[in-house]
Structure 1
């Protein structure tokens, strides 16, 4: 045992992926090769998830549910409880490769979904969507947060949940437009009046939520608690935003203008993908999540033909059909329903259910003011309650940084 390694620390040893003695001809086990293990894991998750999706589609379930269940089947909530299954199919030695690839793919997914959005629509957003978005955000952050404070005062809970329940309540105010867009697209109601109004409302609320998330990440990075350090972190984020909007975007538009009348060539696409990797790297450097930069870059790229359409044509299937399910499977693999603290569960459930009801009521209040039928308001309220990968990613980050524990 190396005395420099603290007790309780898991030591991951690098493996040689090019060993020639791990095939059946040398009487070896191919799954001891990281490459073979990774390919087997992807294939297995994809096949099982698609089978579950075929069963759940008639019930109206989103593919998100199928992908998570596919991961849970092989995780500690399912077959992963059997040691032989865990060590053979999803051993600890292969977790790092699988999770890193899934996170890397998630960056492309968020980028593609952001390319589909036109930020100019926020400026042109009709009064109805703006009113609904502000109503949803303000009420959903006020009521659940107040309820969490009351629960902390009058209900017994363990220290981990007590420290994180207010943050959980605040997170319910987030209405990520990417989730709403994916859901509306799967339900095939994106181009309906209700779908467009719900998406514009989510975009209006998400502007405030996105800024709040940036501040929360900045505070998390400010371990010293000094105001000067926090200010520097926020200024670094602003500098990255200005770099994307006033340097990268004009450069992309300049190159696009030079290629007017000609098809978008491969070099131009690669050029933008390199930008994507750079802004993801810079996001991590300034203390934010690596997804922040790709989202801003995607919004900065012109929607529609020729560039936006070319990017979607080349990346849509790969991102949404392959990389997106991988991250959901990772979330399922890390879920262990047998470790749920049921006392904490009902306390968190109260917060979540209250938030869902408040969000629907907020849409109805704004809809009444704008003369929108209550039936459409209920539908929009249910849509705006949708949760997806961004929320999973956020909670995974909080869990890893021990901000949200005990739940």
Structure 2
């Protein structure tokens, strides 16, 4: 039977097998090279797209990923990202963030503001030739600022765990700053999505007010009622039951649906649902384990492939394009590491630790890709700048391991 005549279900199953195997193999390969496995999984998505497979074997690429099948892959990938952000929300301890030390407050804000300003200053140079069809100077500037300031909290947590740094002062500071950065980035993204979707400031203000009301209801009302509804306070060590798991997933889906209907992305609702999950006992930890493996192993690789299908490195086909790409990487890295380093030194942190913290905060990875895909869907990013920013996310994340090793030798 010809692959060209496959039934849609057979086509999807073939895609799933290809994606899962490619993601696992490249993830293991990158892990053996001293990198985080997630970098290899992201790279697998890019390699399966037009940048490599579509370039060296266009017939195979068209057979494996026909245009008619991309919509199904995209929907499945969005479910995976919603589950992933639900887990990320559960790992963000809002109570802990409110009790940050003055040093953490200064460093976290500097690690966001300095690279964001660098991105904003870079955007007027990029806008004329690289903005998307629906971009305005303001929306493009804000989006470049966001793309420069994001830190990948989950990838950072994995890197710290792999290097035995999670419980150290440096690791705790890095995770705190990254958590603040993630929350700030999502608030900024919500604002730019609202403005872009509505097309007018009056409509966007109404949308943002609705989002604020919904967030207050979730953070104040639902968050207080959930322990009683889910029974998490009755037996702190009780195993996670199916009814509780279904209730949590239903809340996540309803929250995601609500933010989608309000006028911003469903991903914001999924993240917010994770933030309000009860923290008494072990319910949250059990839920993270149950959901994270399925979303990370099965569904997130689909998101990497959808990103890879949109990433055509061949669009950067001249010296000027690669010069711009290199400039973006340089500005993003210098802004993130430099801003963090200066703030950390100002608070009294030793030079090696301040540099190591800057390197850790320069980890972008998956959270960056999620933001970039939102910008692409909104028409703010053109395919060419999208490819450049994907390369920037991969390079800055890949630099974390080698630069951390260098910082350790500096001590």
User: Is TM > 0.5 for Structure 1 vs Structure 2?
Assistant: yes
**Matching residue of 1:19:** none
- Aligned equivalents of 1:370, 1:239: Cα separation in 2: 36
| In the alignment, structure 1 residue 230 sits paired with structure 2 residue 204 | yes
**Matching residue of 1:352:** 329
Task: Choose 395-404 or 81-90, whichever is displaced more.
Answer: 81-90
Match of 2:368 among 383, 388, 391: 391
Shift of 1:188: 4.5
- Aligned equivalents of 1:395, 1:313: Cα separation in 2: 27
> Which deviations, in whole Å up to 9, do the C-alpha atoms of 1:243-298 show, x marking residues without a partner?
32234323321124476135442112101111111111111111111110111111
| In the alignment, structure 1 residue 292 sits paired with structure 2 residue 268 | yes
- Aligned equivalents of 2:106, 2:232: Cα separation in 1: 41
| In the alignment, structure 1 residue 130 sits paired with structure 2 residue 105 | yes
8 Å CA contact 1:52–1:66 kept in 2: the answer is yes
Shift of 1:49: 2.4
**Matching residue of 1:166:** 141
Shift of 1:213: 1.9
| In the alignment, structure 1 residue 213 sits paired with structure 2 residue 196 | no
**Matching residue of 1:245:** 219
**Matching residue of 1:4:** none
Mark the runs of 5 or more structure 2 residues left unpaired by the alignment: 386-411
- Aligned equivalents of 1:258, 1:389: Cα separation in 2: 31
More helix by share: 2
Match of 1:367 among 340, 344, 359: 344
> Which deviations, in whole Å up to 9, do the C-alpha atoms of 1:301-339 show, x marking residues without a partner?
123633202212322221222222221232223322112
**Matching residue of 2:80:** 105
**Matching residue of 2:393:** none
| In the alignment, structure 1 residue 314 sits paired with structure 2 residue 286 | no
Shift of 1:130: 1.0
- Aligned equivalents of 1:332, 1:74: Cα separation in 2: 7
Match of 1:145 among 108, 111, 120: 120
**Matching residue of 1:14:** none
- Aligned equivalents of 1:116, 1:304: Cα separation in 2: 13
8 Å CA contact 1:132–1:201 kept in 2: the answer is yes
Q: 1:258 to 1:196 in 2, by over 3 A?
A: closer
Mark the runs of 5 or more structure 1 residues left unpaired by the alignment: 1-26
Match of 2:29 among 46, 55, 67: 55
Other structure's SS at 2:150 match: coil
Q: 1:73 to 1:365 in 2, by over 3 A?
A: closer
Q: 1:58 to 1:255 in 2, by over 3 A?
A: same
- Aligned equivalents of 2:280, 2:160: Cα separation in 1: 19
Q: TM-score scaled by structure 1?
A: 0.84
RMSD, aligned CA: 2.6
Other structure's SS at 1:291 match: helix
Shift of 1:179: 4.3
Give 1 or 2 for the bigger CA radius of gyration: 1
Q: 1:293 to 1:366 in 2, by over 3 A?
A: same
**Matching residue of 1:381:** 358
Q: TM-score scaled by structure 2?
A: 0.83
- Aligned equivalents of 2:167, 2:87: Cα separation in 1: 19
Task: Choose 285-294 or 56-65, whichever is displaced more.
Answer: 56-65
| In the alignment, structure 1 residue 77 sits paired with structure 2 residue 51 | yes
Q: 1:349 to 1:286 in 2, by over 3 A?
A: farther
Q: 1:70 to 1:218 in 2, by over 3 A?
A: same
Shift of 1:86: 2.2
> Which deviations, in whole Å up to 9, do the C-alpha atoms of 1:3-54 show, x marking residues without a partner?
xxxxxxxxxxxxxxxxxxxxxxxx6769621212111211112212222223
8 Å CA contact 1:30–1:36 kept in 2: the answer is no
Q: 1:65 to 1:208 in 2, by over 3 A?
A: closer
**Between Structure 1 and Structure 2, how many residues are aligned?**
375
> Which deviations, in whole Å up to 9, do the C-alpha atoms of 1:117-162 show, x marking residues without a partner?
211110121222111011222222224423444x36xxx9526379
8 Å CA contact 1:64–1:325 kept in 2: the answer is no
8 Å CA contact 2:140–2:380 kept in 1: the answer is no
Q: 1:73 to 1:176 in 2, by over 3 A?
A: closer
